[in-house]
Structures are given as C-alpha cells and as structure tokens.
Structure 1
Amino acid sequence: MNDKDSLPPSEAFGELDQMWFRLRSITHGSRSGGEWPLRLQFLESYMLLIPIMGQGSITVDGKYCELKAGSVFVCQPGQLIEALLTGTGEQSVYILRFDVYSQHSMLEEQQPSRPAETHLPFPVEGAIPIQSTITYSKLCESITGYMGSLNPLQRLLAQSRFYELLYSLLSSARQMQPTDTGTSMERAMLYIEQHYREDLSISLLAAEAGTSIRHFIRLFKQTYGLSAIEYLTEYRIRQARRLMLPQTNYELKDIAAYVGYKDVPYFRRKFKQITGVAPATFMRNAKLKIAVCHGSLIGALLSLNIIPCAAPADHPWAEYYRRKYETDAVLPLAREESLQLQQLTVLRADYILGLEPAVSRRMLPQLQAIAPAFLVSPLQKDWRTQLQFIGECVGRAPEAASWLRNYERKAKSIRAKLAQGPAMGKLLLARISGQSITVLSTRSLAEVFYDDLHFIPASVVDLRLSNQTLTPEELWSSDADKLLFIVDEDAASQAAWSAFRDRESLLPPDPAGLSRVAHLPPYPWTEYNSFTQELVLDSALTLWRNRT
C-alpha cells in the first residue's frame, strides 16, 4: 500500500451518485493511558479509523503510517492492517466498517465484455486531513447511539448520519492539495497505480515526482529495483491476471484493452515475459480445480494466483482469500479422512495437494484414485523448494519461477534501503509460548532476516538448532541490538510479554531513535510459505520504527 495523501482523481468522485453505502458497525476505543491496539487482521470490508484524541500508527500491507487526531484513515477490503494508539493521557478512536455498492454490478450483467474492478472504487484511501475533529466526534457519538437502538427508524437515522460523515470526509479529500508527506518516488508509483490504463510516459511521471527525467529514471530504479516502465508493465499484468480468473469469463482482447494495451499480440508477449506462460495457458490453468487438504499449503497457492476449490474450513486464510478474491466457491473440507474423501470424490478436482504427515501414506492411494495427488514434505523442503514443487505438481512451474525472481529482486531492493539507513546491529528473533522462549532460526521468518536481508544474528543464536530455548536472563544478557518476538495469544504468553515490555526501558537507547523491541501475533507470521515470507519482507523496514 502507498500513502495516498494526494488529491484523488476527479473522475473517481464523478461516480459517487452511482454508489450506495451501508455502515456495518461502529466501535469506540478509549483509554486514559497505555496502548490501544487494533489487532493484526485481514479486512473484509472498508474501514474508517477516526482518532479523536491521541496519536499512534497504522501498518497497512507492511507499510507504516502515522495515525493522529486531525485526520481520518481509510482502509480497503483485503488489506492486512494493524493499528496502535500510543502515549499517555486521554485517547479516543472510532472504528467504522462499511460496504460500498454500485450500479456497475447490474450494468456488468448487461455488458459482459466489460471487465469490472475486483473491489468497488471508493474514491479515497489512506490518510485524509479533516478540518474539525469535534464535528466527527459528534457525528460518531450520534451514530453510535442510533446504531444500538431497537427502533428500526433510529437505525435508519444512524445510516443517514453516516452519509453526513462520508460527505464531510469526501469534501475534505477533494479540497486536498498534493503534499510532501510521501517521497517523490511514492507519488510516482501511486500515479502509475491510479492511471495504469492510460498512456504514461517517463516525462509525465518525472513531472508527477517533481524531478528531472534523468534523476527520476535513476532514483526509481534505485528505490524499487526496476524501472518505472517495468513497474507499469508488471502492474498492468497483475491486474490482467485478476481478470482471468474463472468467475470473470472475459475475452482476451477486452482484458488487454482494459489494462492499457491496444495491441493484443504485444500484450501476449508482455504477459508471457512477466508470468512465464502465455495468456491462453494461464486462463486454461486458472480453470483447473485444485484442492488442498492442509491449510499451510494455501499460501503457496495464493502466490501462484490460485484459489483452491476446496480447503480446510477452520484455517484463518479461508476467510482471507474468500474476501480478497471475491469467491464463495471454496468447499470447506471436513476434518475426518472418510468425509474428506467423500467430498473430494463429488468435487472431482483436477489436482489434490496434501501435507505429510497430516495426510498419511495410507490415504494417498485413495486420493490418487480421485485425481492426481501429491504430498508435500515440510521437513525436506524449504519454502522456496515447496513453491517450486507445488508449481510443478499443478502445471505452474513458470509462474513459480517468475514469483521467485520478483521476490529476489524485492529483497535486493530492501537490502539496499537498509544499508542506506542507520546500522541495525545484531538481531534476535524469538517466540514466546507461555513461559517458554524459543529462538527462531530455520523454517521460520528468521530466514527472511538472516538469509535474504543479511541481518547479523545475535551471538546467542545458533542457526544450526531448530528448537533452541533461552531463559529470560540469557535473553536480556545477550548482545542483541534488536529483538523481535512472536507472542502467542494465551494469558501466560501475554503476561510474559508484558514483563518483557516493562524491561525494555532498561535497554540503552537506540542512536537512531528507533525501537529496540517489536512483536507480532502468531498468525500469520508463524506460517512457513512464500505468501508469509513476502509479508515479512514487506514489513522489514517498519518493524522497529519508534511508535511512541
């Protein structure tokens, strides 16, 4: 996600009279001191964060932004977010979740050749400065009171007040002028994402960034690891792939034109260059039904742009990919093997993926009698090899290779940014489970930090061990300059984490003003696959930012 603080395209406001809005819920968080957290979560609807008093931060898809009174923060469905109010004194924030409906959904049934956006285009995103916090506070108080009423007329009045709030917010957004809150390269990237369907030139993008053409070319490549035109091409192809999913059923020429290519043969060449396969092959593969018998395999499928046709119902990603890719066609698999076999027999999947030893070798012949079935060995394959193996099993080897190339390029770019900033020193990663402190080394997010980003492990870390444990005394006497904890959600783990936080103030101050200690919840950060490793990579630059 990019800071979308600049003036939204005027054409986005032109469709407001074709939109309807429904407030799902409003909650109020207030605390006289300490921290008020909005836990890490994938959003299933739009969300407004309205700080009334206090300040804090919000991380959206790995990108850190300030959160403070005097601005409203707009988030979109499918984003991974976490928010935190910090500091002392009285603090107050309202959280409003809402849906957007449009006449386009009806028009598309009459115009099937016109590709539709995956999400309805709410006109603004990110931080929007507002003129009067008091006005928003009064509106939110009114909405809260009416939403909780048993009287349907008063609940209708709550929706009316919500429209007043949206009117005030969008009016403020439309009056905004471009600011310098983001870097010039971020503004250029945002412009590409907003106008990717248009003919964009380097001179136009350089002007948007406020730099010379020569400086822009050098700085964009240095910042993102690829040129602006290469980024435009990749972004267009990414949008095209979303329009090639089975439920869309658009023709190739319409997809090419929609994402900015008038020449279909040229679009085909660029598509194969980026994804490793021809568009026709991608669309044919997208229609294949792939079932997974274990939730940890879902991440690799998402990296390959595959929505499983069947997956365990109790895995947290089930709701994420249902919202992210707007599909209800995922069959929830039962836990019992006999019931799973019955479901998969009726489903008639093209491929079935399982994880050893969750799927026993005894069950494998029964799965293979239904469809080609493959078992992934978590102990023998790291996440890269798993992705390549799964890609080969389901006919997506070129896509897996393309994804890995993009990952390596991103890692190289982030390493360069880390090298330009203050020295990070030695790093220690650990998981707190009850009273146990386990060092993270292999087969975890530690691989991103140590192997891909070249962080130096603290001296106490032995990367050869998979279950190294430490006592609290060993932890705090180590030479670690930075610590990152994954903290389980049970009461004992949270109590241990609270005790560690109390000791953080005893650490020597960081010369660069950064925090020395950061933490993450177990989900999704304990998952070990390509999807989560990329999330870690995207978060690496912001984890220890001082948020107090």
Structure 2
Amino acid sequence: MIRIVHINRNNENSKYSLLEHSSFKLRHIQHIKNTATDWELKLQFIESHLFIVAASGQGWLTLDGQYIEWQEGSVYICNPGQLVQAAAQSLDERGLYLLRFDIIKDYDSRTTDSVRPIQGELPFPIKEKIILSSPVSINALCENITKYLQSDDQLKQFRSQIYFQELLYHLFQDDLLVHENDPEEVLEYVKSYMEQHYQQELTIEHLAKVAGVSSRHFIRLFKKRYGCSAIEYLAVYRIDQAQKLMKMDSEYRLKDIASHVGYPDDIYFRRKFKQITGIPPATYIRNNKQKIAAYNPFNIGQLLPLEITPFAAPGDHPWTDYYKRKYGADLVLSLNSIEAVKREELLLANPDYIIGIDNMVSTEEQAWIKQIAPAFFVPWMDHNWREHVQLIAEFLDKTALADTWFEKYERKSRFVKEQIQYTIKEDTLLVIRVTGDTYHILGCRSLATVFYDDLHIAPPHDIDRLMPDHRVTPAELAKYDADRLVIILDDDARSQLGWQLLMQSEHWRNLKAVRNGRIDFLPTYPWIEYTAFTHELVLDEVLMLWRNRA
C-alpha cells in the first residue's frame, strides 16, 4: 500500500489535495480476453472500488441503474455500495481489465480530537468515466500489473502496486485535461473538499477561493446545483458524521463528538442536531440502543428514514448486505426465511420491537411474534407508502423523525422537479417492468408514484393510475406510445431473453420513445420496492438521468 502525498500545497483548488492523507491498495486484477462467449458481470452491490478498463470490444454497464454504452479506450469507475452490472462482446487479445482496490483515509497526526477518525471507504475523486489520452500506455501498465501481482515473488508483488500508482497518476492527468475548466466539476470538487475538511472551520469566502470564483458567484452556483447553500450542506454532513459516531457502541462524550465534527460549542451542536434531525442528540443515542427487527424485507426501507438500522432483517434479501456495508451494521442478524426458524432466532435475540407487514404474515404467526416483543404489522393495502412510515413512527414514538424526513423529501422532490423541467418539458412517461416473458406497466403502489405524484410527470392518457401494474403485450404498448420510457429489467435469464424479444419486435421499434432514443433503465433492486427509502433513491436517480439533458 503506497500513500499519495500532497502534490501542490500552494494550489488549494487542485483536486488532488483530496489525496493528501489517502492510501491506495490494489486488491485484485482480472484480464478477460479472447472470449468465445459474451462476458458478463452479474448485478451486484460491490464492496470495493472497481476500475473497468475497456481496452477492446463492445459492451455496456449500469451504475445504480444508469445505463452506459462503453467505449474502447475508456476507464469506468465504480465505488463501494454501488449497484453494478456489465457485459461485453467481441473481446480480442487486448480484452478488458477489472481492477479492485481500496482507498483508505490515513490517521492525521495533526488532529487533536479525542475521537478517532471514522474508518471506511472514501469515494474515488473522479466520477464514472475517464477517456484515455493514451490507451496503449494504460494497457501496458495493466499488463505489467497483472504479470507482477500474480507472481510468488513478494518484491514483484510490491512492484505491481507501484505500477498501479502510476496508472492512477495517468488517470488523474487525463481527467484533469478534460475537466479543469468545467464549472460542474469544480462544484463537485468543492463538495468533496468540504467532506474531507468538515472538521475545520470553513467559510463561504474560503470555499469560494477553493472554487476559484467570487463568494457571491459561488453562493449562486452551489445553490443552483445542489438545492441548498454550501453552509447548509456542510451542517448536514457534519451531523451525519456525528450520527455515525453515536451509532458506535462507545463511551464518547457528546462534547467530544461535537468537537470532532467541527462544532467546538456543544450547545450550538445540540441545537443544530435537533434542527436537522428533528430530535435532540441524547434522544438519538437512546433510540439507537433499541433493538428493532424488520420481520419482512420491505420493512427495511420503512425503518431507515426513521434513522433506524434494523438489528435483524431477512437474510435472503438484497438490501440486507447493502445496508450492512452502507451503514456499518456489521452485527446485523440475518433472519431465516422459514417462519419457525425465524421465530426462534428472534426469541433468542430478545428484540425491543418487531415491525412486519400484515398481509405477508399469517394471523397465527403474528400472534406468536407478539409474544416475543411488542410488534406492529403495517396495514399494507389500506395505506400508501407515506402512511406506512407515519404509522410505524407513531408505534415507535418517532413522529418527529418522520416529520423531519418528509420535510426533506418534499424539499428534495421540488428541487429535482426544477432541475429536470427543461429536459422533460411536457413529455409523457411510461414505466415498464420486464419480468420473464411478461411486460407490466407500473401504476399506483410502485415507484411510478414518484414520477407521477411527486415530480408531476404526465402519464399517457389511457393509463389506469389506480392499478398497481397492468400486464401488456408488445402490440398493446402502441396504445400508450409515451414520449419517454423507463425500463425496469429483472436480472434473471428469462427476463433478459424477454427483453431481447421485445426489442426485436416491430411494435417496439415503432414506439415514439424508441425512435427518439428516450429510454432509461433502472435495475429491479432496490428501486422496485414501494417504500420511503427507495423512493428517495429514485429522486437521486432521476437527477442523474435527466438533469440538464435534452
């Protein structure tokens, strides 16, 4: 592992100041070439950073649902926790390389706080894609990395890490050539700068200097880009870091936590914490000591908005591993799918509360569960996703947290609506899920409610919004003929085949959205779930798909 030192101490606007206390360690490299069949990286939440170096062939990948057709001579960047899928065809001798690596924030000896810095993965400073100025040089470096990393000689393994640092240097150089004068890239850099230096005193004047613009211009640009001021963003980020410390089983004093996240005045910190979260910090700490179990998979997305990471949840659900990584819940109990076994697991775990869903659990099983701990089974069909969260909040005495979350959600949905209005205009939108060889139009009680109700995008005139989903044939899609399509494609082989058959049909090719190239994709999980947390993810995804895109 080799640490990158500060490249230019006199230039605070350099993106690479983020690397001053960061280390990069290559974990694994794989070279895929001359394949007789198509290569595929199955849909997965990745645990480490990943480079996909596209040296040859054709292919595509999705990053958190964003579909990208890859180009030869490019590198694609995936960060831990992202949902990634990729495929390639026609790979020659050059093929493609997959490099998995870690970024580790070093301990800063200059820090005098009594609280240790939070450990964990850092985001790579470049987003999504780098177009290479010299693909040949990068390919040669990848060849050397592969050769030396696979050696039994420890010195050669060490040399592979040196080649990896050289590869990073070339990637940073290529990115700098493209983005050094890009206003959006500068704002992203400043946001990352705040996240790296949140423990320090940061003023608008200082941040504007980092951005290289006047304070007045910086204030306007940041608010337009992110929907809040830079100081508001910094405060939310600091409180988020404080919450992470509070979730640890530690004896940190509140005064120490406040100082660690940049608030020397702990009284001001308490006031700011309540303003942002809706509850005082002492209440938050007390709440996090409660052991709350999610009996059904959808309960996870209902509890997270209430600042609750379930201590137990169904182990056969994709979300379970995801929030273990994202929220640091390493000790989460993975519940068995068999009711009798699950019941025994909960009995031994002795939870404070259990949250389930009424129509997913038999009346008899609900009675058994209520003997283990106070339990609430959400009335699923009688209420919408907002009411689900509110009912759980009332049961757990967390109404203030729910109110705060919904205020932030409404503010965010208004901001996203403003950001995409020049792209969407008066376009109609149809949301289609491909499952096996069937095609369903999504309506109520699905993520389509985010598009139609929160973002006020118009559905086609003939769609029945009151139906959760409506099965259609390719021929029937012509009846709706929306301006835009969002496709949710299940990742099993039957669904992939069903998608291929749909694309080959004449009915599909004649659709207005297909002819105009206005098709976007979301993976099945986690976006398909009808929960508060996943609907907020949809807002983030919409912003990536349609902000300022004609």
CA distance in 2, matches of 1:121, 1:374: 37
Match of 2:430 in 1: 428
Which of 470, 476, 479 lines up with 2:478 in the alignment?
Answer: 476
Q: Aligned-pair distance for 1:247?
A: 3.4
Report the number of matched residues: 529
User: What is residue 379 of structure 2 aligned with on the other side?
Assistant: 377
Partner Cα separation in structure 2 for residue 297 and residue 248 of structure 1: 27
Gap change, CA 1:193 and 1:510, over 3 Å in 2: farther
The superposition leaves residues 157-207 of structure 1 with CA deviations (integer Å, 9 ceiling, x where unpaired) of 456424421343147538947613451544443333333222222223334
Change (3 A) 1:54 1:546: farther
Q: Does 2:160 match 1:161?
A: yes
Q: Secondary structure at the match of 2:369?
A: helix
The within-5 A match list for 1:309-324 is: 309-324=311-326
CA positional deviation for 1:12: 3.1
Match for residue 114 of structure 1? 115
Q: Which residue of 2 aligns with 1:493?
A: 495
**Please, which of 1, 7, 10 is the counterpart of residue 17 of structure 2?**
10
Q: Which amino acid aligns with 1:256?
A: A
1:26 matches 2:30: yes
Q: Which amino acid aligns with 1:153?
A: D
**Cross-structure match for 1:179:** 180
Residue in structure 2 matched with residue 336 of structure 1 by the alignment: 338
Change (3 A) 1:446 1:218: same
**Contact 2:526 2:534 (8 Å CA) reproduced:** yes
Counterpart AA for 1:114: V
More relative contact order, 1 or 2 (CA 8 Å, 6+ apart): 1
Specify whether residues 116 and 214 from structure 1 end up closer, same or farther in structure 2 by C-alpha distance, changes over 3 A only. closer
TM-score normalised by the chain length of structure 2: 0.84
Distance 2:296 2:527 in 1: 17
Cα gap change, 1:509 to 1:385, in 2 (>3 Å): closer
Moved more, 382-391 or 162-171: 162-171
CA displacement, residues 93-118 of structure 1 (integer Å, 9 cap, x when unaligned)? 3221234567759x9xxx99423324
For residues 514 and 207 of structure 2, the distance between their equivalents in structure 1, rounded to whole angstroms, comes to: 37
1:381 CA displacement: 2.2
Give CA-to-partner distance per residue, 1:28-52, whole Å, 9 cap, x none. 377899x976555322112222232
8 Å Cα contact 1:444/1:526 also seen in 2: yes
Compute the displacement of 1:395 (Å).
3.4
**C-alpha displacement at 1:497, in angstroms?**
1.1
Structure 2 residue 523 is matched with structure 1 residue 521: yes
Counterpart CA distance in 2 for 1:300 and 1:459 is 32
Are the structure 2 counterparts of residues 405 and 215 from structure 1 closer, same or farther at C-alpha, using a change threshold of 3 Å?
A: same
> Which residue matches 2:370?
368
In 2, the alpha carbon distance for the partners of 1:58 and 1:494 equals 14
Number of the residue aligned with 2:216? 214
Structure 2 SS opposite 1:362 = helix
The aligned runs of 1:51-66 (5 Å cut-off) are 51-53=54-56, 60=63
**Counterpart residue type for residue 28 of structure 1:** I
1:388 & 1:89 partners in 2: Cα distance?
56
Q: C-alpha distance in 2, partners of 1:418/1:57?
A: 25
Which stretch has the larger CA shift, 329-338 or 290-299?
329-338
- Are the equivalent residues in 2 in contact too, given 1:85–1:91 (CA < 8 A)? no
Quote the residue 1:292 is aligned against: 294
1:47 and 2:50 equivalent?
A: yes
Which runs of structure 2 are paired with 1:179-328 in the superposition (5 Å)?
Answer: 179-181=180-182, 183=184, 185-328=187-330
Q: Structure 2 vs 1, CA of residues 523 and 216 (structure 1 numbering), >3 Å: closer, same or farther?
A: same
- Structure 2: how far apart are the matches of 1:53 and 1:350? 55
1:23 maps to amino acid:
R
Deviations 1:222-256 (A, max 9, x none): 33332221111111111211121133543222221
- C-alpha separation in 2, matches of 1:116 and 1:308: 25
Is this contact kept in 2: 1:353–1:373, CA < 8 A? yes
Question: 1-side partners of 2:544 and 2:146: how far apart?
Answer: 34
What is the deviation of 1:122? 7.3
Taking a change above 3 Å as real, the CA distance of residues 264 and 130 of structure 1, as seen in their structure-2 partners, is farther
Question: What secondary structure does 2:97 align onto?
Answer: strand
Query: How far apart are residue 396 of structure 1 and its match?
Result: 2.7
CA distance in 1, matches of 2:203, 2:87: 39
Structure 1 residue 142: Cα displacement: 4.5
Gaps of 5+ in 2: 1-12
Distance in structure 1 (CA, Å) of the matches to 2:86 and 2:402: 33
Aligned counterparts of 1:158 and 1:459: Cα–Cα separation in 2: 62
User: Can you list the C-alpha shifts for 1:306-338, whole angstroms capped at 9, x where unaligned?
Assistant: 222111111111111122223331112222333
Report deviation, 1:292.
Answer: 1.4
Answer whether contact 2:357 2:377 (CA < 8 A) is retained: yes
Q: Provide closer, same or farther for how the CA distance between residues 265 and 63 of structure 1 changes in structure 2, counting only shifts above 3 A.
A: farther
Amino acid across the alignment from 2:246 = M
- TM-score (normalised: structure 1): 0.84
Q: Describe the SS at the equivalent of 1:469.
A: strand
Give, in angstroms, the shift of residue 8 of structure 1: 3.5
Given that 1:130 and 1:169 are in contact with CA atoms closer than 8 Å, whether structure 2 keeps it comes out as no
- Counterparts of 1:339 and 1:510, CA distance in 2: 48
Tell me which amino acid in the other structure corresponds to 2:117. A
- Cα distance change on mapping 1:390 and 1:258 into 2, 3 Å: same
Give how far 1:144 is off: 4.3
Amino acid at match of 2:45: F
358 and 36 in structure 1: CA distance in 2 versus 1, 3 angstrom threshold: same
Q: Which amino acid aligns with 1:515?
A: G
* Deviations, residues 55-94 of structure 1 (Å, cap 9, x unaligned): 8876655778896555544433223445677999999432
Match of 1:418 in 2: 420
Supply the AA of the counterpart residue of 2:443. S
- Match in the other structure for 2:445: 443
| Percent identity (aligned) | 40
Structure 1 stretch displaced more, 485-494 or 36-45: 36-45
Separation in 1, partners of 2:252, 2:510: 60
Closer/same/farther in 2, CA of residues 205 and 170 from structure 1, 3 Å limit: same
The answer to whether the Cα contact below 8 Å between 1:42 and 1:320 also exists between their aligned partners in 2 is: yes
Please give the per-residue CA displacement for 1:109-165, whole angstroms capped at 9, x wherever unaligned: xx9942332414477443567664223323333544666x6xx71698456424421
C-alpha spacing 1:84/1:200, structure 2 compared with 1 (3 Å):
farther
Task: Classify the secondary structure of the residue corresponding to 1:519.
Answer: strand
Note the C-alpha offset of 1:275. 0.2
Q: After TM superposition, give the deviation of residue 13 of structure 1 in Å.
A: 3.1
Paired residue type of 1:180: N
Deviation at 1:546, TM superposition (A): 13
Equivalent AA in structure 2 for residue 79 of structure 1: Q
Aligned to 1:3: none
Distance 2:495 2:118 in 1: 42
Asked whether the equivalents of residues 376 and 395 of structure 2 are also in contact (C-alpha less than 8 Å), the reply is yes
Deviation at 1:343, TM superposition (A): 1.6
The answer (yes or no) to whether the contact 1:246–1:287 under 8 Å persists in 2 is no
Q: Which residue of 2 aligns with 1:407?
A: 409
Aligned-CA RMSD value? 3.7
Q: Name the aligned partner's letter for residue 495 of structure 2.
A: S
Gaps of 5+ in 1: 1-5
Residue 244 of structure 1: SS of its match in structure 2?
helix
- Secondary structure of residue in 1 paired with 2:247: coil
